[in-house]
């Protein structure tokens, strides 16, 4: 046995079934060990995509996804994925190669200090300097990646350590760890606060989307009957309970959902993570805020909770629910605002305009997606519209990144979702800018024989920034570009492509693409004049 083989058996011991990556010569012992193992090596065409996929695996399953890259250039290509997992709290393990540490026959060729590079981007970054340390390091890496707050870790395996003969050192088995539940004193304080609130409102933040939390959270909301809204990343965390849904805070202020937020006297913020663009701004005269989280809140200028309920969120909410169920005469105080808010959001959803309006696109996508269908967004203007207008009923059915908010993650995250859920419809929604950033992964999706539809919204521009540029009063400059013919582009990748040619064309195009199976590209021209009309003009008027 050598170091690489020991590392691979330690990964098997953690239950790893696939590794995403793009190897280099420094990984060859590792690749050979993988070939002889039960773990599948899923080759991607860019390391960044491998990291996005591994992070999404962590996000959707709660178990770390694993990615692999070589030293220097390969490892550096993982860094955006590391930041994506770090800010997004997604458990991930990155493994990179390195030149030998005991002898350097190629001097400094391709050598970059990757452990130092990864240190601020991870929860832990370590070089493996002897095979003997591998079992403990791997166990520690997985424990760190998975435990709250989850995130990425990095292990560097130099090629001489990978090749070094070693005995069969015993592995360390993982065991379940139950987190402590909120203290009774904190439960008393929270109970008193919620009981006396006149206009309570629940906010579901990013951590509300942890895969294991969905049942307990949904149960809590149904028991209390307090209306709720969510942040962008908290979207879909409550199953059912849709008669209590007040909207999504896609903007920080002035949107219709803020009618409820601004009137609340208590906000029960469950799992809010301040990596997200603020769902509302706390100020001196605002509502009281109760933070419910796995970990204490981070205090910011715009978020400084008054009371905290810390501990394993599911069981803690169960205890809180027991204390409060049926004892909240004011639970529904803000509910009368619901219909008005949702009616404004749904406005013009069926408008027949071509190019299509963002509202119509969201509406037609919802029609094409079954309740359990998974929509994976890249980053662009449409993200605000999807966050605001797309209704979800099942946890983690709208994957978006409101933390690093990086372009390029839409397609890789959809590939991962399609691998994990071959029985469900999966749709990547990308702008023409973001799609091209990782378009090379179409080949990966095709090679893996996935069923997946990619919707490209075409405005020949970095639309989001163009909108901000206009909103800030700058002249229109530097944001436009040309595109390949995406239908031909699809054909060149041995897949189907279609272009939406009229206002009623999107829904049937999506339906046909899903019915056809395999990977499909659907291109829809988008009319972004609604950005200004709704998100600036209409909402400014509404705020007055
Ligand atoms: C990697 C990266 N580069 C730049 C940005 C800044 N940015 C945010 S949205 C956006 C425009 C996206 O354009 P596109 O993908 O075409 O979507 P659109 O807004 O046009 O719908 C840019 C450049 C970013 N978030 N991530
Ligand atoms: Mg665009």
State the pLDDT at residue 109.
92
State the pLDDT at residue 410.
98
Tell me the C-alpha distance between 20 and 94, whole Å: 10
State the pLDDT at residue 433.
98
**C-beta 405 within 6 A of ligand 1:** yes
Query: Residue 437 CA: which ligand is closest?
Result: 1
CA of 479 to the centre of ligand 1 (A): 10
Confidence of residue 57 (pLDDT cuts 50, 70, 90): very high
Confidence of residue 510 (pLDDT cuts 50, 70, 90): very high
| Vertex 346 angle, CA 341 and 347, to 5° | 100
Confidence of residue 284 (pLDDT cuts 50, 70, 90): confident
| Vertex 276 angle, CA 217 and 114, to 5° | 110
State the pLDDT at residue 343.
95
pLDDT tens track for 313-324: 999 999 999 999
Q: What are the structure tokens assigned to 342, written together?
A: 């949702």
State the pLDDT at residue 544.
75
Confidence of residue 395 (pLDDT cuts 50, 70, 90): confident
Instruction: Output DSSP code: residue 331.
Output: T
State the pLDDT at residue 41.
98
Residue ID of nearest Cα to ligand 1 atom 11: 462
Contacts of 506 (CB under 8 A, 6+ apart): 356, 360, 361, 364, 365, 500, 522, 524
Confidence of residue 393 (pLDDT cuts 50, 70, 90): confident
pLDDT tens track for 180-199: 999 999 999 999 999 999 99
Tell me the C-alpha distance between 15 and 36, whole Å: 16
**C-beta 381 within 6 A of ligand 1:** yes
Give the mean pLDDT of 410-428: 98
The overall average pLDDT reported for the chain is: 96
State the pLDDT at residue 212.
87
State the pLDDT at residue 394.
86
CA of 439 to the centre of ligand 2 (A): 14
Strand partners, 376: 399, 428
Tell me the C-alpha distance between 321 and 29, whole Å: 53
Tell me the C-alpha distance between 362 and 382, whole Å: 9
Confidence of residue 238 (pLDDT cuts 50, 70, 90): confident
Quickly list H helices, 107-152. 114-118, 134-146
For residue 250, pLDDT over 80 is answered with: yes
State the pLDDT at residue 86.
98
Contacts of 442 (CB under 8 A, 6+ apart): 411, 454, 490, 493, 495, 519, 521
CA-based torsion, 322, 325, 328, 334: positive or negative: positive
State the pLDDT at residue 107.
87
**C-beta 221 within 6 A of ligand 1:** no
Note whether 398 and 375 are within 8 A (CB).
yes
What are the distances in angstroms from CA 489 to CA 247, 408, 514?
37, 17, 19
Confidence of residue 91 (pLDDT cuts 50, 70, 90): very high
Confidence of residue 237 (pLDDT cuts 50, 70, 90): confident
**C-beta 48 within 6 A of ligand 1:** no
Give the mean pLDDT of 44-66: 98
For residue 174, pLDDT over 90 is answered with: yes
Confidence of residue 105 (pLDDT cuts 50, 70, 90): confident
Mutational pocket test of ligand 1: of 379, 460, 476, the residue with most ligand atoms within 8 Å of the beta carbon: 379
pTM: predicted TM-score of the whole model, two decimal places: 0.97
Query: Residue 384 CA: which ligand is closest?
Result: 1
DSSP β-ladder status, 200-204 and 92-98: unpaired
State the pLDDT at residue 77.
98
Confidence of residue 501 (pLDDT cuts 50, 70, 90): very high
Contacts of 197 (CB under 8 A, 6+ apart): 265, 266, 288, 330
Contacts of 170 (CB under 8 A, 6+ apart): 135
**C-beta 434 within 6 A of ligand 1:** yes
Give the mean pLDDT of 531-539: 88
**C-beta 277 within 6 A of ligand 1:** no
CA of 457 to the centre of ligand 2 (A): 7
Half-sphere exposure of 343 (CA within 13 A, CB side): 5
CA of 525 to the centre of ligand 2 (A): 9
For residue 140, pLDDT over 80 is answered with: yes
CA of 498 to the centre of ligand 1 (A): 23
| Vertex 105 angle, CA 101 and 110, to 5° | 75
CA of 465 to the centre of ligand 1 (A): 7
Of the given ranges (122-126, 239-243, 302-306), which has the lowest mean pLDDT? 239-243
Cβ atoms within 10 Å, residue 78: 31
State the pLDDT at residue 202.
98
Note whether 4 and 164 are within 8 A (CB).
no
CA of 431 to the centre of ligand 2 (A): 5
In the chain, what percentage of residues exceed pLDDT 70? Answer: 100
Contacts of 427 (CB under 8 A, 6+ apart): 365, 368, 369, 373, 374, 375, 376, 414, 452, 453, 454, 455, 510
State the pLDDT at residue 236.
86
- The backbone torsions φ and ψ at residue 381, rounded to the nearest 5 degrees and listed phi first, read -60, -40
């Amino acid at each position: 046995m050598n170091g690489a083989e020991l590392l691979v058996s330690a990964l098997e011991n953690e239950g790893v079934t696939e590794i995403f990556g793009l190897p280099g010569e420094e990984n060859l012992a590792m690749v050979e060990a993988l070939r002889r193992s039960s773990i599948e090596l899923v080759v991607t065409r860019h390391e960044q995509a491998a990291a996005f996929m591994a992070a999404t695996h962590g996000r959707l399953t709660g178990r770390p996804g694993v990615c692999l890259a070589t030293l220097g250039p390969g490892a550096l290509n993982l860094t955006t994925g590391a930041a994506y997992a770090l800010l997004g709290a997604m458990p991930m393990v990155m493994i990179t190669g390195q030149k030998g540490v005991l002898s350097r026959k190629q001097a400094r060729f391709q050598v970059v200090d990757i452990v130092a590079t990864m240190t601020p981007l991870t929860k832990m970054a370590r070089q493996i300097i002897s095979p003997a340390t591998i079992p403990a390091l791997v166990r520690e890496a997985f424990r760190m990646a998975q435990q709250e707050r989850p995130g990425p870790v990095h292990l560097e395996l130099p090629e001489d350590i990978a090749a070094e003969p070693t005995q069969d050192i015993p592995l360390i088995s993982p065991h379940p760890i139950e987190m402590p539940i909120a203290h009774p004193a904190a439960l008393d304080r929270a109970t008193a606060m919620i009981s006396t609130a006149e206009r309570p409102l629940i906010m579901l933040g990013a951590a509300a989307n942890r895969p294991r939390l969905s049942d307990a959270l949904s149960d809590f909301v149904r028991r209390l009957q307090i209306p709720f809204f969510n942040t962008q990343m908290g979207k879909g965390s409550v199953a059912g309970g849709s008669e209590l849904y007040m909207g999504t805070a896609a903007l920080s202020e002035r949107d219709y959902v803020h009618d409820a937020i601004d009137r609340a006297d208590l906000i029960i913020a469950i799992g809010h993570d301040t990596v997200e663009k603020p769902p509302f701004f706390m100020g001196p005269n605002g509502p009281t805020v109760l933070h419910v989280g796995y970990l204490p809140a981070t205090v910011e200028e715009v978020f400084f909770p008054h009371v905290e309920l810390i501990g394993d969120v599911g069981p803690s909410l169960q205890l809180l629910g027991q204390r409060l169920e049926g004892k909240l005469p004011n639970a529904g105080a803000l509910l009368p605002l619901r219909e008005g808010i949702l009616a404004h959001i749904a406005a013009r959803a069926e408008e027949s305009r071509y190019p299509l309006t963002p509202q119509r696109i969201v509406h037609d996508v919802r029609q094409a997606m079954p309740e359990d269908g998974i929509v994976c967004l890249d980053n662009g203007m449409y993200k605000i519209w999807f966050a605001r207008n797309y209704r979800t009923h099942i946890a983690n059915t709208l994957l978006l990144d409101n933390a690093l908010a990086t372009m390029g993650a839409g397609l890789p995250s959809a590939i991962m979702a399609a691998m994990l859920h071959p029985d469900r419809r999966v749709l990547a929604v990308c702008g023409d800018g973001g799609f091209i950033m990782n378009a090379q992964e179409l080949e990966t999706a095709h090679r893996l024989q996935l069923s997946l539809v990619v919707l490209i919204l075409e405005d020949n521009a970095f639309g989001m920034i163009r909108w901000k540029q206009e909103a800030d009063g700058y002249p229109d400059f530097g944001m436009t570009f040309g595109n390949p013919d995406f239908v031909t582009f699809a054909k060149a990748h041995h897949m189907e492509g279609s272009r939406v040619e009229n206002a009623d064309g999107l829904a049937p195009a999506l339906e046909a693409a899903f019915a056809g199976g395999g990977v499909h590209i659907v291109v829809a021209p988008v009319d972004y004049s609604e950005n200004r009309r709704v998100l600036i003009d209409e909402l400014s008027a509404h705020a007055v």
